[in-house]
Structure 1
Amino acid sequence: MYVSHLSLHDFRSYPSAEVPLEAGVTAFVGRNGQGKTNLIEAIDYLSRLQSHRVASDAPLVRAGAEQAVVRAAVVRDGRTATLEIEINPGRANKARINKSPLPRTRELVGLVRTVVFAPDDLSLVKGDPSDRRRFLDDLLVLRSPRLAGVRADYDRVLKQRNSLLKTARSGGRRAPDEYLTSTLAVWDDHLARTGAEILAERLALVEALRPYVGKAYETVARGATREDARIEYRPSFELIDEDGLRPSTQEGLEKAILAELARRQRDELDRGVSLVGPHRDDLLCTLGHAGGQLLPVKGYASHGESWSFALALRLASYDLLRADGDDPILILDDVFAELDAERREQLAALVAGAEQVLVTAAVAEDVPKALEGARYRVAGGEVTREQ
């Protein structure tokens, strides 16, 4: 899979841009602020309908414009399809395939798959749990696009439930009345059902991802073994059924969430917020140290170890998606400037064989020799192919 042409209209800094691409490595070189990252951000947005740089769509539309359009020709198994997203801040976005409108924009998700390496990847191991949850959910949706709908349903239920709890708290209700109890029970059922599906998918994903993380860390960290880097899913409460075991089915997880919601109801009413569910979970990242002790990367690992673990998570994502049958597009966004020489060369060697690699760099010298290929100069809003 690779993008053979990218068209932009009022996206970020570009009134318009037409960029022919090809399989293999393409580097966009230019000083900061010239728009090179905007190009690869557009391709990644087509993949997930989210930016890896900002949380909302508004910054994606050029100042003074009402909408932005991203269009890409995507080649897969020798066939080309044109994917298009019309970004309308404050209104519904619109998606098309080969000029035919899609009923829902999220049907575009996963048709082109990307894995992005970026300077802020350090937040995957040093940031808040929300960064790691987003990492898992983005990967889930790329592997199974229907989960975008499940995640949207869960977010909607959570918002409604939190609103109810907040209203109850502001009303000073220390004990729930009959109306509140019955209404809360309805939202509990919705939260448990959608939450159990997300939880089941995340648990399965971590199991599938674990060996790839160990293998990738062994590759990028000097002297490490694949047993040194480990990941473990940490739910917001202890997942134990009546037999003292972790529920093995989605139905069992749903029952476990409902039981915990009942147990924490008073706490939730007191605080006016939902305290149970996958929105409170975390991905625990640990490293083995002398004596076999496992310590969390956050708070214990050195800067170099943290970078190696973050790289291992991204490489593991790529390997897992590749094992599903498609080479995702690899995007390396100004990442080489953040790495020492050894990690720079290791990463370049690992990804050089991907079907398509898109690199951004401030100076040409930041692009390793292993990633030599097509090169564009980005300056003053112009994208120019170098000969």
Structure 2
Amino acid sequence: MFVSHLTLHDFRSYGDVEVPLDAGVTAFVGRNGQGKTNLVEAVDYLSRLSSHRVATDAPLIRAGAEQALVRAAVVRDGRTAVLEVELNPGRTNRARINKSPLPRARDIVGILRTVVFSPEDLALVKGDPSERRRFLDDLLVLRTPRLAGVRADYERVLRQRNSLLKTIYAARGSSREAAIATLTVWDEHLVASGSELIEARLALVADLAPYLGKAYEAVARGASRDDARVAYVSSLTMLADPAGEEAVGRLPSRDLVAIAFRDELARKQDDEIGRGLTLVGPHRDELQLTLGPGEDNRLPVKGYASHGESWSFALALRLASYDLLRADGDDPILILDDVFAELDADRRTQLAELVAGAEQVLVTAAVPEDVPSVLAGTTFTVAGGEVTRVER
């Protein structure tokens, strides 16, 4: 799979730009602020309908414009499909495949698959649990696109349930009793979508774990594949034991997850009403990352790992994602966004050698020297809104 042509209209800094691309390695080189990251961000947006840099679509629209357009010709197994998304902040985004409108924009998710390496990846190991949950869910949706709907349903029900909890706290008498009866209905909606999401996350972590160990061994000096571990830690008491590679073959069923979810909601109901918040569910779960030889010497990466170890773990998470998606049958597009400038010479070389064989690699760099020689390929200079191919 690779992108053979990229078109942007009023996306970020670009009014209009057309960029022909090839399989293999393509580097976009230019000083900071010239728009090179905007190009690869657009490709990634078509994959996930979200940016690896910002949380909402509004910053993606060029100043003074009302909407933006991202279009890419994607080649897969010798056939080309044109994917297109129209971004409309405050309104519904629209998506098309080969000019045919899709019922929902999210129906385009997963057709193009990307894995992004960027300086923001340190947040995966040093940031809040929400960063790691987002990492999991993005990977889930790329593997199983219909889970985008499950994720959206859960977030919608969660917002409405939180609003109802606040209403119950303020209500009195019969109004309060009626609101609590309504809460039972929303509990079932929350359990239905939340249990499916938790079940899928548990299976994903079990699938990802062996790839993570192999990837960490490849990028960290002197490491073994048993050093890096990942486990899913649930907010549901009945599922509190972390589920990682040891859990293969004994993951809880969705029915068991649902039972645990209902039990926890009942147990926490008074606390939730008092705080006006849903205190259990996939939005409160954590992806536990640990390092160390042997079970007795294992420590959380966050707070204990050195800067170099943290970078190696973040790179390993991305490489593991790539290998897992590749095992599903397609080479994802690899995007290396200004990542080499953040790495020491050894990690730079190791990463470049590991990804050089991908079907398509898109690299951004401030200067040509930041791109390792093993990734020599097509180069574009990016300056003043112009994207120019460098002829060799």
TM-score normalized with structure 1 length: 0.96
**2:372 aligned partner, one-letter code:** P
For residues 225-248 of structure 1, what are the alpha-carbon distances to aligned partners after superposition, in whole Å with 9 as ceiling and x for unaligned? 00000001011132259xxx9872
- Residue 240 and residue 162 in structure 1: after superposition, are their counterparts in 2 closer, same or farther (change >3 A)? same
Q: Answer whether contact 1:289 1:295 (CA < 8 A) is retained.
A: no
Aligned to 2:361, which of 343, 357, 366? 357
Q: 3-state SS of the aligned residue for 2:237?
A: coil
Aligned to 2:284, which of 280, 283, 288? 280
Give unpaired runs (5+ residues) of structure 1.
none
Instruction: Give 1:252 shift.
Output: 1.3
Aligned to 1:264, which of 252, 261, 268? 268
For residues 27-81 of structure 1, what are the alpha-carbon distances to aligned partners after superposition, in whole Å with 9 as ceiling and x for unaligned? 0000000000000000000000001111111111111111100000000000001
Q: 3-state SS of the aligned residue for 1:354?
A: coil
Provide the residue aligned with 1:140 in structure 2.
Answer: 140
1:22 aligns with 2:22: yes
Aligned length in residues: 383
- Residue 6 and residue 265 in structure 1: after superposition, are their counterparts in 2 closer, same or farther (change >3 A)? same
Instruction: Give 1:173 shift.
Output: 5.8
Q: Answer whether contact 1:12 1:62 (CA < 8 A) is retained.
A: yes
Provide the residue aligned with 1:196 in structure 2.
Answer: 195
Correspondence list, 1:312-351, <5 A = 312-351=316-355
Instruction: Give 1:255 shift.
Output: 1.2
Structure 1 Cα separation of the partners of residues 12 and 226 of structure 2: 43
Provide the residue aligned with 1:160 in structure 2.
Answer: 160
Over the matched positions of the two proteins, sequence identity in percent amounts to 72
Compute the RMSD of aligned alpha carbons: 1.7
Name segments (4+ residues, structure 1) moved above 3 Å: 172-177, 289-292
Q: 3-state SS of the aligned residue for 2:238?
A: coil
Q: Answer whether contact 1:10 1:16 (CA < 8 A) is retained.
A: yes
Q: 3-state SS of the aligned residue for 1:8?
A: strand
Provide the residue aligned with 1:77 in structure 2.
Answer: 77
Provide the residue aligned with 1:234 in structure 2.
Answer: 233
Instruction: Give 1:249 shift.
Output: 1.1
Correspondence list, 1:82-121, <5 A = 82-121=82-121
Instruction: Give 1:174 shift.
Output: 11
**2:61 aligned partner, one-letter code:** V
- Residue 281 and residue 22 in structure 1: after superposition, are their counterparts in 2 closer, same or farther (change >3 A)? same
**2:311 aligned partner, one-letter code:** W
The answer to which of 308-317 and 159-168 deviates more is: 159-168
- Residue 268 and residue 173 in structure 1: after superposition, are their counterparts in 2 closer, same or farther (change >3 A)? farther
Q: 3-state SS of the aligned residue for 2:31?
A: coil
Q: 3-state SS of the aligned residue for 1:330?
A: strand
Aligned to 1:367, which of 368, 371, 374? 371
Provide the residue aligned with 2:243 in structure 1.
Answer: none
The answer to which of 124-133 and 285-294 deviates more is: 285-294
Instruction: Give 1:181 shift.
Output: 1.9
Give unpaired runs (5+ residues) of structure 2.
241-246
- Residue 16 and residue 240 in structure 1: after superposition, are their counterparts in 2 closer, same or farther (change >3 A)? closer
Structure 2 Cα separation of the partners of residues 153 and 248 of structure 1: 22
Provide the residue aligned with 1:378 in structure 2.
Answer: 382
Structure 2 Cα separation of the partners of residues 177 and 59 of structure 1: 42
Instruction: Give 1:188 shift.
Output: 0.6
Provide the residue aligned with 2:209 in structure 1.
Answer: 210
Q: Answer whether contact 1:240 1:247 (CA < 8 A) is retained.
A: no
The answer to which of 157-166 and 174-183 deviates more is: 174-183
- Residue 240 and residue 217 in structure 1: after superposition, are their counterparts in 2 closer, same or farther (change >3 A)? closer
For residues 295-333 of structure 1, what are the alpha-carbon distances to aligned partners after superposition, in whole Å with 9 as ceiling and x for unaligned? 000000000000000000000000000000000000000
For residues 101-139 of structure 1, what are the alpha-carbon distances to aligned partners after superposition, in whole Å with 9 as ceiling and x for unaligned? 111111100010000000010000110000000000000
**2:289 aligned partner, one-letter code:** C
**1:222 aligned partner, one-letter code:** R
Structure 1 Cα separation of the partners of residues 296 and 224 of structure 2: 12
**1:104 aligned partner, one-letter code:** R
Provide the residue aligned with 1:221 in structure 2.
Answer: 220
Q: Answer whether contact 2:202 2:251 (CA < 8 A) is retained.
A: no
Q: Answer whether contact 1:174 1:270 (CA < 8 A) is retained.
A: no
**2:91 aligned partner, one-letter code:** R
Q: Answer whether contact 2:167 2:179 (CA < 8 A) is retained.
A: no
